[in-house]
Structure 1
Amino acid sequence: MTASRTWTAWSCTVRLTVDDPAVLGAACGELKTLMDRIDKAASRFRPDSEVSAVNSRAGALVPVSRLLVDLVDVSLVAAQMSGGAVDPTVGAAVIAAGYDADIETVRRRFPQAPHDPKPVAGWQEVRLNRKLALLGVPTDCALDLGATAKAWTADRAANVISKRYGCAVLVEIGGDLRAAGTPSKPWVITVAERAGEEGVLVTLAHGGLTTSTRTVRRWQTPTGYNHHVIDPRTGLPAAGPYRTASVWAPTAVRANTFSTALVATGDAALGRLKLAGHPARLVAEDGEVTELAGWPTASRAA
């Protein structure tokens, strides 16, 4: 028997499912506490967050918590793994595109004044002293950990809850899912471009399953729509061949690294995905679906 609870946080749907209903309340408390800690450390939208302090003091080394050290470390590993396609220094470019507040606030602002694109400093320019817990970014650079922090949270929460309460657990934060423990039968997941829309059904017994898309967090401008996925090569919202990418990998962070890279840089990330051998479902701009590396053969155009 399973039990599930759903709520809204970080401008997305959060869902926690366990196979022991007796622990659901405590497990939800664990996830909410973790998300609150990460929000205080890494939110770009909170002026009192650690990331905001680092960004406001660009050019200097700033003392930070061990939690933020871990989150930045994960983002740098993802940047290296993706060949720079998933770059935590896109913050200034995201802001220039118009995403400088909660997405609902941004959407209500139309029409927005156009902004010039901001070059991306590059992840290699981030200075992280892990031993002393010091973090710095170059002048005119801003960190945005959104591409990895959400997935890391799903990974961490699923593992902690499963071990602490001895249950199988499925954590979903927006498009990032992580399964941990040993369920009596695999979880059945609907993979769709947007929450609530028709999608395809897949099963997930373990590991991470993430969907990255430029069709959800987007907003209207005088010249069309912008979205939050930045191509680090241009500093502009990505305009590659794939509007959505869903990927399975052993962890949500690894899955998200590939799904984000595919939307951000398109075919430039495809070779890395094929080399890694992770199952993936790609949706092109015209809705054509491509399935790779053993993705269940039941998909159709979105």
Structure 2
Amino acid sequence: MSTLQWRDWSCTVRVVVADGRPTPDPALAARAEGLVRSLMDDVAAASSRFAPDSDLSRVNAAAGRLVPVRPLTLELLGVAIDAARRTSGACDPTVGRHLEHAGYDADIDLLRVRPPRTAADPAPRAADWRAVRVDRGLGLLGVPTGMALDLGATAKAWTADAAAALLARTLGRPALVALGGDVAVAGDGPAWPVLVSEREGGPGEVVSLPRGGLATSSTRARRWPGPDGERHHVIDPETGRPAASPLRTATVAAATCLEANTLSTAALVWGAGAPARLAAHAARWVTTDGHVATTALWPRSPRSGGVAA
């Protein structure tokens, strides 16, 4: 196995290539890292909410007008709109202003150390993914005045899927890519052991992931101090505020990491209704009092340790 990891996007990036060697192949690892880093850079240029020159930032700054964007941005927007449609709006990409209003207006590492801020602006207009305007023929994207996009619920998971597929296709070997709690595998190979935990480096459960992806969404990891107590990044589109859910963490295994992350994020918004909605999926959740439950399709745990997710 050739394994490497680094920090980016405020999370640990892990890449594993099953090369059949007893020791890592430095050349293969360097090539794999270059492929994943390049893809992540492209996605950030399209969808970063904190880079002022990204397509997403330009669209948000020009709310009320259509803005020319790159094809990748339109693809990521389409993925986010589809997630909103499939979850009946629980995963809504138009909660960008609500995240800012909650205080999530900078990288999470900065939020954790700066003094709490009180929002001076009035509450943003209601989220509504149907209000996004796209002209695919001309490559234009826009949102109404007072609205902003955030693709965090889908772009990272899409990237994990795309990166794993790219490695398997380019290197000709099975590969795993983990971007924080978003894990994707590609290529024909044995099942991958993956550690499911609520926090990076925390205790958890190891499960087998033979194909597709697995995603964990939690209100425990991305938290920052607010004037009225701690806040988290999962916004309930109906209230425009951090979701007040009886679930604090949800994990789903699915055909893709994107599908898994869409469902795990929606579960935290669905709250008490999540177990019924997840019954037909391989899912695990933790309630705010620490109770762990799973669906009947949740994968069995292998005996060996695994890649953290």
TM-score normalised by the chain length of structure 2: 0.92
Query: Does the 8 Å contact 1:82/1:269 carry over to 2?
Result: no
Instruction: Give 1:201's aligned residue.
Output: 206
The aligned residue for residue 305 of structure 2 is: none
Deviation for aligned residue 1:114: 4.5
Verify the 8 A CA contact 2:125 2:146 in the aligned structure 1: no
Q: C-alpha separation between the residues in 1 aligned to 2:77 and 2:13?
A: 23
| SS at 2:176 equivalent | strand
SS of equivalent residue, structure 1 residue 225:
strand
The range that moved more, 109-118 or 253-262, is: 109-118
Equivalent in the alignment of 2:293: 290
1:79-118 aligned at under 5 Å gives the runs: 79-114=84-119, 117-118=123-124
**CA–CA distance in structure 2, aligned partners of residues 111 and 79 of structure 1:** 31
State the alpha-carbon separation in 2 of the partners of residues 114 and 93 from structure 1: 10
Q: Which runs of 5+ in 2 are unaligned?
A: 302-309
Bigger mean CA offset, 146-155 vs 214-223:
214-223
Partner of 2:7: 8
Q: Deviations over 1:35-59 (max 9, x none)?
A: 0011111100011111010001101
2:66 corresponds to 1:61? yes
Q: State the superposition RMSD in angstroms.
A: 1.5
Matches of 2:79 and 2:275 in 1, distance apart? 21
Deviations 1:227-283 (A, max 9, x none): 110000100001111100000010011000000001123134444433xx2200010
Measure, in 2, the Cα distance between the counterparts of 1:151 and 1:170.
Answer: 13
Q: Sequence identity of aligned pairs in percent?
A: 49
* Contact 1:117–1:236 (CA under 8 A) maintained in structure 2: no
CA distance in 2, matches of 1:103, 1:187: 30
Instruction: Give the secondary structure class of the aligned counterpart of 1:290.
Output: strand
Residue pair 2:98, 2:240 contacting (<8 A) in 1 also: yes
In the alignment, which residue of structure 1 is the partner of 2:152? 146
Of residues 269, 278, 281, the one that matches 2:284 is 281
Tell me, yes or no, if the aligned pair for 2:111 and 2:225 is still in contact at 8 Å. Answer: no
What is the match of residue 17 of structure 1? Answer: 16
Amino acid at match of 1:68: T
Can you give the 5+ residue segments of structure 1 that lack an aligned partner in the other structure? Answer: none
Q: What is the identity, as a one-letter code, of the residue corresponding to 2:9? A: W
Residues 123 and 269 (structure 1 numbering): CA distance in 2 closer, same or farther, change over 3 Å? farther
Whether the aligned pair in 1 keeps the contact of 2:127 and 2:238 (CA below 8 Å) is no
CA distance in 1, matches of 2:2, 2:184: 16
Alpha-carbon separation, structure 2, partners of 1:24 and 1:149: 24
Q: Is the 8 A contact 1:152 1:252 kept in 2?
A: yes
- Give, in whole Å, the separation in 2 of the partners of 1:282 and 1:126: 32
Q: What amino acid maps onto 2:298 in structure 1?
A: W
**Range with bigger deviation, 103-112 or 83-92:** 103-112
CA deviation map 1:115-137 (0-9, x unaligned):
65434331000011222211010
Given that 1:119 and 1:234 are in contact with CA atoms closer than 8 Å, whether structure 2 keeps it comes out as: no
User: 1:213 maps to what in 2?
Assistant: 218
Q: Secondary structure at the match of 1:146?
A: coil
